[in-house]
A and B are shown apart, each in its own frame.
Chain A
Amino acid sequence: MRYLPHTEADRRAMLQAIGVPSVDALFRDVPEAVRLKQPVDLPTTKSEIEVERALMSFAQRNLGTGSAPSFLGAGAYRHHVPAAVDHLIQRGEFLTSYTPYQPEVSQGTLQYLFEFQTQVALLTGMEVANASMYDGASSTAEAVMMANRVTKRDRAVISGGLHPHYREVVATHARHLGFALDFAPPDPEGKEDLASRIDDKTSCVVVQNPGFFGQVRDLSALAEAAHAKGALLVVVVTEIVSLGAVTAPGDMGADIVAAEGQSIGNPLGFGGPYVGLFATREKFLRQMPGRLCGQTVDADGQRGFVLTLSTREQHIRREKATSNICTNSGLCALAFTIHLTLLGEDGYTRLAALNHAKAVQLAERIEKEAGLAVVSDSFFNEFTVRLKKKNAAEVVEKLAAQKILGGVPVSRLYPKEAGLADLLLLAATETTTEEDMTALIGALREVA
C-alpha cells in the first residue's frame, strides 16, 4: 500500500522492541466479542489508475457549470478564480499544516489570517473580524446567538429576504438552545417592514443584503430603528463580491456582519467547503465566536502573530464557551485572502462592476426579448423573474434537458409556499457570456 511506509521487517522489529508477539496483542483492551477477525466487506486496495477511473465515472455523470450556460446563484456563485490561487493553496506548507497552535512554526498561517481578518473588516466596514466560520449559514446562526448574549435578550427578528437555508439553520439552533424567532414571510418584492417588528425584547434584526430575491437596500433606517430599541442589526451577505459595488454594512449601521465568502477564491464544489465570514464592532469582541489571530512580539522583539483571546473558546472555557466551533475554514480563508490580494481595490471594484453590468444586461434582455417581468426593483448580480408558466421548477428541468442551467426555482428552497412557485432566481457573473444569455433567452421563450 503506497501510503504505508513499514516493511514487514520493520513491523517485526518494532513488535520485538515493544515486547509483544503480534499486533493483536496491542488491541487486547478491545473486548474479545467485538474484535473483527477479517477486514470489513468493502473493496480492497486500489492503484491510482483504478481510483482515478472510479472517481471520473462519478464526475462524468454530472453536468458541470463549466460545460453549460449557467445562471445559478441563491447563495453560491460561479466566479473565475485566478490560476495563482489554486497553485498557492496547494503548497504543502499551507495544505498540510494544522491549526497554528505553535506560533513559532506557524507564522505563515497566522500572518495570512491576520491579513484575512483585516480584509474582511475592510470589506464589511466593521472594526474586527474573526479567522472564519464554516459557512454563511452557520455564521448567521452564530451572529444571532452572539446578539442574544450581547443584549441579554432572546428574540430575533428574521427578514423574509434571508436565504431559506440560513433561516432553517438559525431555527435549528433556536429550537435546541431555546430562543425565539420572529420570521417575516418571504419577501420577493422587497417591501417588508421590519422596523415595526422590533420591540424592547428584540435582540437583533437579521437582514440579508443583497437579499435572497435580489434587492439591494440602504439599511441605515433599519439600523436606527433597531438601535432605538436596544437591538442589534445583523447584516448577512451571501454574495461577497457585491461589496465592491454596494455600501458596506458597517457604513449602514450594522453591528454584526455574517457572510459567505465562497465567491472569492473558492469553487462551487457542490456546496462546500465554503468559508463563513464574521465581523463586528470592537466593543463586542469578547462575545465573538471563533478563532482570532492577533499581533504581538517574540522574545527578540520582532513582530509576530498568535491565536489570541482563546478564553472565549471551547478548549479553554468548555461549556461556558461562546461557541462550540473548533476547526474552521482555514484553507478556504486562504483561497479567499489570496484572491482578494490579487484583485486589490482596483480589481475587486471592477469585478463587482462587471458582475452588476452582466446582470443588468441579462435583466434587460429577459424583459425585452423573453418578455418576462423582473420582480426585483434593484439588484446586484442576481434577480427574481416571474415566469408565465406557474411552475418554475418544471421550466428549469426543461432547460436542463437542453443543457442549460437556467437558474434556481424559488420553490426548491420554499417548497411549501405555493405563491412563489412561478419565481425564478437568475444570476450573472463575470463568467457569463452573451452567447450564454442568448441560449437562455431562446430557451425561455419556448418553455417559460
Chain B
Amino acid sequence: MITLENVSKIYNAALESKPVTAVADLSFSVQAGGITGFVGPNGAGKTTSIKMILGLVQPSTGKVTLMGEPAGSPKARQKISYVSEQPYFYEHLTAEETLKFLCEMKDIPKGDRTSEIDRVLEKVELSHRRKAKVKTFSKGMQQRLNMAQALLGKPELIIMDEPMSGLDPLGRRLFRDIFRDLRQSGITVFFSTHIIDDIENLCDRVVVLSKGKLKYQGDIQKLIDQSSKGIEYRLTGDQAKQLDVHGSTDCKVTTAPDGTVTVVAESTENSLVSKITEAKILPISIMPIRSSLEEVLYDPKEPQEER
C-alpha cells in the first residue's frame, strides 16, 4: 500500500546554517490490512515521511508510491484519508459544514452526504455538536472531528500522525475502539505514535525510525521476541543442590532468604538448561526475560537529537 524506496529529504535552511537531513535513504513498505505503527523519538523523521507519503512534501531523492501510484498524484489519494497531529479546521464553519465541504472534496455523491455525516459524527460521539462552530470546540473535540473527516467515504488506508495527542482517557479509548473497528473492516491503518501502550495494544506491525533512518520493520511480536535477554528458572533449594547450580559458570545464581534459588541463563543453549531437561526436574517457575518495548524502540545508548 505504501512504498518508500531510498527516500531522503533535506531541508535547505537559512544562509548561515547547514542543510538539515530529516530523512536519509529510507526504504520501507506497509502492506494492506491491519495496523502498522510508525515509531520513533522526536525528530526521527516520522512527520516528514508521512508528509512525503501524502505528497505534501517532495522527497529530495528516492521514490514514494501510494496504492501503486506516485505519491502526490490525486489518484494516489483517491482511497486514503489523513488525520493530522493537530486538528486544523476552518473556524468559521460548523462541524456539519466542515464535513459537507470535505464530502465535496472527496466526491461523495450528494445523496449520501447527510447519512455519511450522521454516521461519522455518531462514531466519534459528536452528533450533538454538529451545528456548533469548530472554534467553540475543545482540542479533544476537534481531534475527534479530525477522525470523523478521515472516516468519510470508504478509505482503504488511513494515515495518522500522532492521532491521540491531546485526547483525554475517554477520547483515547474511543479512538482505540475506532482503530479496532477499522482493522475488522479491513481498512489499513498507518499511524505514528510515541505511546508504547498504543504500540503494544494496537499494532500488528511496526516501522521504527531513528534519526531519519529505518531501524526495524516488521511484526511487533517478532520484535518483542528478539528482545529476549534470557530465561529465568526458580528452583527449590533441593533442586538447586541436585543440579549443582552454584558450580555453573555460565549462569547467574542468586539465593533468596526463603531458600529458593533463581538461575538466569542467557540462552537455552546452556549447560544448566541441559541438566534441568535431562534430570526431568520441574522448576517452581520458568520465565523468559525480555527488554521492555520501550527499551527496544528507544535504545538509551543511542543519542537522540531534536530537530
Q: Do A and B bind each other?
A: no
